[in-house]
Amino acid sequence: TLNPRHLPSLTTRRRRSVAPSPISPTMTSTTNNNDATDMEALYRRAVADASSLTQAEINLIFDWVSPEEDKYICRTKANGKTRAELIAIAATNPEQLTSVECLLVLRSTAFLIELRREAQNPNQPPDMMELIDGAQHFVRSVLTKRKIPLYSEAYQAIWNAFDDQERLAIIAVQDRLSQIRDEEWAEGNRKYPRRMQQPE
């Protein structure tokens, strides 16, 4: 079974990630005391009845962008496809999805970190310190949220409230991403074969 905590994860399952083109999504800030109180109340609502949450509230729990930004990202990064269309393809023909489309289905925060970096510096190659700072910012936010009561229960409740198609899609795109990473790894080894280490 899939751990629902993996939904907004950094998606660092294997090797390198695909770098999408510039956009300026809203990023989650470090949670303060007021935010923690609000998040706990939101978690309680999720546990009581996850189906009562709005899409914006679900996205907030998943550290994802607003529904409006989500529509824009899907339209510009998935050749005009909507999230519903991506989920339908993932559930039936996941092999048709690109790496970027898989990350969209997963609501990957690593995807958002890279989008923000490119939006800030569209004409510059990735700076390692920028990437590290972005990842550390996300980790701090997640670790803070995990200390809030009912964090795990809220995630599980939302996962249970997803329809069968979306749950199947999320599981399928994780497998698809692994396949893509394996193919990229094999292609890299074919182009740049590593020298076999000789025994001493």
> How far apart, in Å, are the Cα atoms of 94 and each of 33, 54, 70, 123, 169?
41, 27, 20, 32, 8
Sequence-distant (≥ 6) Cβ neighbours of residue 123 within 8 angstroms: none
Torsion region of 197: left, alpha or beta (phi above 0 gives left; psi -120 to 50 gives alpha): beta
- pTM, entire model: 0.71
Query: Cα-flanking dihedrals φ and ψ of residue 125, to 5°?
Result: -70, 165
Spell out the residues 6+ positions from residue 152 whose beta carbon is closer than 8 angstroms to its own. 5, 146
Record the tokens describing residue 148, joined without a space.
Answer: 């809030």
For the chain, domain boundaries: 4-17+32-188
Give the rounded percent of residues in the chain with a pLDDT score beyond 70.
74
Q: Give 142's pLDDT tier (boundaries 50, 70, 90).
A: confident
Written as one letter, the residue type at 65 is V
DSSP result, 101-137: HHHHHHT-HHHHHHHHHHHHSTTSPPPHHHHHHHHHH
Confidence of residue 126 (pLDDT cuts 50, 70, 90): low
Q: pLDDT tens digits, residue range 39-88? A: 999 999 999 999 999 999 999 888 888 999 999 999 999 999 999 999 99
Predicted confidence (pLDDT) per residue in 3-51, tens digit: 444 454 433 333 333 323 333 344 444 456 677 889 999 999 999 999 9
